Structure 1
Amino acid sequence: MFERFERLIDPFKEMPLDVPPKGFAAFCWYYTKPVWPILIWVSALGAMIAILEVTIFTFLGDLVNWLSEEDRSDFLLNNWPSLLGMAVVLLVVYPIVESAWQLLFHQGLMATYPMSVRWRVHRYLLRQSISFYQDDFAGRIANKLMQTALAVREVVTRIADILVYVVVYFTAAVFVVSSANPIFATPFLGWLVAYLVVLRFFIPKLRETAKNQADARSLMTGHVVDAYTNIATVKLFSHASREEDYARGSMTSFLGTVFRQMRLVTMLNISLTAINMLLLFSVGGLSIVLWQYRVVSIGDVAIAVGLVLRLQGMSQWILWEVSGLFENVGTVQDGIATISRERDVTDLPDAVALDVPRGEITFEKVRFHYGKKSGVIDDLNLSLKPGEKIGLIGRSGAGKSTMVNLLLRFYDLEGGRILVDGQDIAKVRQDDIRENIGVVSQDTSLLHRSIFENVSYGRPNVGQEEVETALRKAHAFDFVQGLSDPSGRLGLEAHVGERGVKLSGGQRQRIAIARVLLKNAPILVLDEATSALDSEVESAIQDSLFDLMEGKTVIAIAHRLSTIAAMDRLIVMDKGRIIEEGSHDELLARNGLYAQLWAHQSGGFLDPVKIA
């Protein structure tokens, strides 16, 4: 039975990856559309429960009147139809309605609703631009995803169920007491006005505090995760105390928001207690007066006092629900600022598939400044023939890695265009571009998964034999065979830790090379691909790299010039422009920047004379 209700919502249903709305109501509705039929049923059942609870109080009033007025001997004979009706409501109708509400609310909504939000937000964020992640903490982004998903659920369910229940309950209660005597309703209406005034005063303050608190919590989490992610750097510089101070600042800010929240809560509770006591006193006093003048019966007094006591209990609950509602409103508003950001790089509506039969690459008057007025790439023109292998050379900041990032379309050009086999990459799908380019970078990052999953990441459907072949070509198979992790997994199944921290830099690099070997894309980018390898290992896998480059168009970046000196053509860059190009011997003969850089190295290593 539980599973049937748990399957009412498919949280992983494929939905469009549109930019989420920035308005609060539109944002909540955007993520609520898949579950709205269940929410309507939950609201309807909540309203029925409220009416039934007030009806039960009328039963209590009728029972008091009968017991005080009728003869014991024929009580059951005279009232058995009404008593039977009460029994049916109490033992059949109310349990059925309550059970239906519980199943729909807890099994149908509470788990799958926020998971649906998380899934859709996660899918959207995975397709966010590189700059989105460069400008924020990964831990903070993840925290926003988790917090916002729960906050959306709480806001919507509170409005759709709890507030509906409260409104229906109070309306029914006022109707019941006023049916005895309209004057009886006066204290209830006065209490409602006072209650709304209290909420109107405190809730906006709680909402603003909650918004600040959500942001402070995310920042605090980001600072803590940042230290854990870079724990090796923290220890290398013996900066545990510095990280404590860094975290203490954000924790102190977060604590300040909690203190402000608790002050408001204390004042709110005191105000609520005061108006609740005034309601009880007013109804009690009015009951005595009306009873003395025989305007109301003892049963009417029992109903009124019972409803007051129930409202007093509910008022605290309503307070926290409404307070929680606006706290979650603040959390959602805070999350919208992160989640609803438009992507910097998007596919055109009519983007087509990229076909790469040859691997020709052309940069035409490319201009890109990272949004600055000047800098990085200016009026760059470069053509690579199919299968040509070029080396990019230049000082740090010359624009080499930026060229690669633009080819991968991590950023959109500010001017010019890049063609792959005559196709403008701005008009094709991003995924197709990256599927046709294999990259080994100097900053090798592995997923915290098994060796097998990391190597097969570019071709998920390959078998173990193909993965092992790639590892052997990358001279990684031997060390992989000896790997283990704390869970007892061995070899290919061993997990490598976050970003691959359980492996050395050279081991991570060889795993990355194996991954690209297996991907076998027609275009290859080597960005300091052997920078983390010692000379012996580099020499050992050099043949594998040449095999990897065979038949491919290759762009190689290396500061160790000996590793790219044998390329078909060398391109020397400075300040975003190409200033020299040619073969190794031709560039040496020109005695330009390349010759200067080469003079500082001998066979790819520092000149021993310089060291001396």
Structure 2
Amino acid sequence: MGLFRFFENRLEVYPEDNYNLPTDNFLKFLWACTKGLRGWIFAFMFLTGLIGVYESLLYKWIGDIVNWLGAYTPANLWAEKGDSLLMMAAVLVVSPILVGLSSLIHFQTLQGVFPMQMRWRFHRQMLGQSMQFYQDEFSGRVSAKVMQTALAVRDTIMTIADMLVYVLVYFVSSGIILFHLDGWLLIPFLLWMVMFFATVAYFIPKLKNSASRQADARALMTGRITDAYANITTVKLFSHSRRELTYAKDAMSQFLGTVHDQMRWVSRLELVNHLINVVLVGTTVALGLYLWYYNGLSVGAIAAATAMAMRLNGLTHWIMWQTAALFENIGTVQDGMKTLSKPHTVVDKPNARDLLITQGEINFSHVDFNYGRSGNKTNDTDAKQKLLDDFNLEIKAGEKIGLVGRSGAGKSTLVNLLLRFYDVDGGAILIDNQNISDVTQESLRQQIGMVTQDTSLLHRTVRENIAYGRPDATDEQIISAAKQAYAWEFIQHLSDAKGNVGLDTQVGERGVKLSGGQRQRIAIARVMLKNAPILLLDEATSALDSEVEYAITDSLNDMMAGKTVIAIAHRLSTIASMDRLVVMDRGQIVEQGSHAQLLAQNGVYAKLWARQSGGFLGEDD
């Protein structure tokens, strides 16, 4: 066990450095994925080569022993060939050490750690992608690429290191031995090589293309199934289980079609593979007998050549399937490259520093933003839509403003730009005179607390969800925040199928085990515990009933005290008490002032206020 653990611990499984993944070069992509592993891979290749030489020598020694048995009596065999027999015995004794060391490097050092290290680095790469990336991708598809590509890269590298090196060394050493025995014996092997490589050249591209289509179809199938599970409430709400089955069945049928296509080529390959092996063994035996009859070729040479041919007969199936698997993995890697090597569109500058909040003043200065630029979207229609054009807005330290406007007015865009989910195309966003593009994204978002209308909880415990913005918080601090958010009462009565209760209860994927109001209160508790100096509220109380909303108002007011606050609400009554209301339309500020001032102006805001029914913002032409 100690020996196994020694080799298992040779590599760092979770390194802090990242890959520099090329986007369009397969070999460079593979090379990048071997970062930190190359020494062990080359050691494994060296040992594999030695094993190939050893196996070739075995067949030569079989021929030598056959000849010796015909040339020497039992009495004088040891005296004449004792040294050679001792050398053979020594090599046989050493061979288990070579095979054992090769196996330890292969299976203990590389087989498990290699793909896990890749998954770790791929996951780091994906977490750094922009919000737009995840809006354009299935989350299930991305996770499938992370898992499948890691295994495919591992298998590609190990197949090259094992199969190709072994075969090359075995062929070269066997060729030298056969030439030494009789150069004519090389003819069947050369004929076999021509037929083998012709077979590979014909079949492997077919299998590669089939594998590539299969990998893409598998990812599509996984993505569709995962999408149904992730949105199971919507599926059941609309009674569309049958529709989802049909949707998944279509993807499954596409995947099965690629499987059938691949298996047809596999059957053809199996038949051709057997035929070229029959040719190899048959011609080797026939030529050996011919040379024995006419040229006096030794029986040992025939035995060695026939043994090598029989060994290749067995090896050919392994080589062919390894080669087919190699190109299947190559197809999977090439498919995964398209997703995993996409460059990040929102990145920190090399010299980015941490954001330092002294007051909390925010300034949107001459901001231009267009979803068709900065790598945000590529759709031509979107490219023509310019949401912000020379936009200016100054928010004083500690000021509380409300953003008002219909959907598409640009309210959420401002929030997304402040969080730097997207980069501006022109101008700058400043916090305490620090350009947010010059600071690290992590430090920026650490200084901002946000409660959104679409509350998303992690599939973890209530405790972990509340403490997500402040992982070092004590249970007393977590409970205090829960009480402020009026969540503690229901948290105490929560339980799950595993017997966990209270703060230890698992909330389910996206918090599915909780009601919308419960999820919202946990989200509010999370932001209260984080206690960031800048607070963003996007319909923060929309999921709460009126009684809970009224009860939590004082806590929200306490949370906003001393902070710079930007609140978005369609229900104008929830933001009417803000210091300033900013009315937006088509990316521009059309009015701003206090609630009373805007009503007195009798402009856009006054009309919106008058048109509210039940406190919600109506539509306007």
Aligned residues: 607
Letter in 2 for 1:334: D
Counterparts of 1:193-592 in structure 2 under 5 Å? 193-371=194-372, 372-592=383-603
- Please give the per-residue CA displacement for 1:431-480, whole angstroms capped at 9, x wherever unaligned: 11111110000011011111111111111111111101000000001111
Q: Which residue type is aligned with residue 120 of structure 1? A: R
Q: Following superposition, which runs of at least 4 residues in structure 1 exceed 6 angstroms of deviation?
A: none
Distance 2:617 2:137 in 1: 38
Match of 1:25 in 2: 27
How far apart are 1:530 and its partner, in Å? 0.2
Query: What are the superposed Cα offsets for residues 406-434 of structure 1, whole Å, 9 maximum, x if unpaired?
Result: 11010011222111111111121111111
| Contact 2:406/2:617 (<8 A) preserved | no
Which amino acid in the other structure matches residue 30 of structure 2? C
Tell me, yes or no, if the aligned pair for 1:375 and 1:575 is still in contact at 8 Å.
no
1:21/1:30 contact within 8 Å kept: no
Contact 2:459 2:508 in 1 (8 A): yes
1:602 to partner: Cα distance: 6.0
d(CA) in 2 for partners of 1:216 and 1:456? 39
What amino acid is the match of 2:95?
Y
Question: Residue 98 of structure 1 corresponds to which residue in structure 2?
Answer: 99
Shift of 1:201: 0.9
Closer, same or farther in 2 for the Cα pair 1:606/1:7, shift >3 Å? closer
TM-score by length of 1: 0.97
CA distance in 2, matches of 1:482, 1:256: 50
- Please give the alpha-carbon distance, in whole angstroms, between the structure 1 residues aligned to 2:471 and 2:578: 31
For residues 127-146 of structure 1, what are the alpha-carbon distances to aligned partners after superposition, in whole Å with 9 as ceiling and x for unaligned?
Answer: 11110111000000000011
Tell me the alpha carbon deviations over residues 208-253 of structure 1, each in whole angstroms, 9 at most, x when there is no partner: 1111111111111001100111011111111111111111111111
Which residue number in structure 2 is paired with residue 133 of structure 1? Answer: 134
Q: Name the SS of the counterpart of 1:286 in structure 2.
A: helix
Aligned equivalents of 1:400, 1:326: Cα separation in 2: 50
Return the offset for 1:379: 2.5
How far off its partner does 1:20 sit? 4.5
What is the distance in 2 between the residues matched to 1:513 and 1:188? 74
Structure 1 pair 606/216, CA: closer, same or farther in 2 (3 Å)? Answer: closer
Q: Decide which of 28, 41, 44 is 1:42's aligned counterpart.
A: 44
1:13-51 CA distance string (max 9 Å, x none): 221464545311111111102111111110110011111
Counterparts of 2:432 and 2:149, CA distance in 1: 44
CA distance in 1, matches of 2:436, 2:521: 30
- How far is 1:603 from its partner? 6.9
Structure 1, unpaired ranges of 5+: 608-612
- Aligned residue in 1 for 2:607: 596
1:3 alignment partner AA: R
Give the distance between the partners of 1:34 and 1:212, measured in 2 at CA: 31
Task: Name the residue aligned to 1:54.
Answer: 56
Partners of 2:599 and 2:228 lie apart in 1 by: 46
The alpha-carbon deviation at position 78 of structure 1 amounts to 3.8
Conservation of the 8 A alpha-carbon contact between 2:570 and 2:617: no
Q: Is the 8 A contact 1:54 1:172 kept in 2?
A: yes
- Deviation, 1:9, is 0.8
Residue 2, structure 1, aligned to residue 13, structure 2? no
Which of 69, 72, 77 is the aligned partner of 1:70? 72
2: CA distance, partners of 1:18 / 1:530: 43
1:79 positional shift? 3.4
Contact 1:181 1:295 in 2 (8 A): no
Range 65-74 or range 534-543, more displaced: 65-74
Equivalent position of 1:84 in the other structure:
86
C-alpha separation in 2, matches of 1:295 and 1:30: 55
Superposed CA RMSD = 1.6
- The farther-off stretch of 347-356 and 394-403 is 347-356
Structure 2 CA distance for aligned equivalents of residues 62 and 405 of structure 1: 78
CA distance in 2, matches of 1:588, 1:334: 58
Distance in 1 separating the partners of 2:401 and 2:538: 12
Larger deviation: 214-223 or 348-357?
Answer: 348-357
Q: Which residue identity is paired with 2:348?
A: D
- The Cα offsets for residues 479-502 of structure 1, whole Å up to 9 and x where unpaired, read as 111111111111111111111111
Q: How many Å separate the matches in 2 of 1:419 and 1:81?
A: 84
Q: Distance in 2 between matches of 1:48 and 1:63?
A: 22
Secondary structure, aligned partner of 1:33: coil
Question: Percent identity, aligned pairs only?
Answer: 53
CA distance in 2, matches of 1:537, 1:83: 91
Q: Please say if residues 571 and 617 of structure 2, whose CA atoms lie closer than 8 Å, have aligned partners that are also in contact.
A: no
- DSSP-derived class of the 1:499 partner: helix
CA contact (8 A) 1:562 1:603 kept: no
8 Å Cα contact 1:363-1:381 kept in structure 2: yes
TM-score, L = length of structure 2: 0.95
Q: Which moved more, 1:78-87 or 1:316-325?
A: 78-87
Amino acid in the other structure paired with 2:310: L
Residue 610 of structure 1: aligned partner: none
Q: Secondary structure at the match of 1:34?
A: coil
Contact 2:20 2:32 in 1 (8 A): no
C-alpha contact 2:598 2:606 (8 A) present in aligned 1: yes
1:174 offset after TM fit, Å?
1.6
Tell me the distance in 1 between the aligned counterparts of 2:19 and 2:257.
38
Q: Which amino acid aligns with 2:220?
A: L
Amino acid in structure 2 at the alignment position of 1:130: M
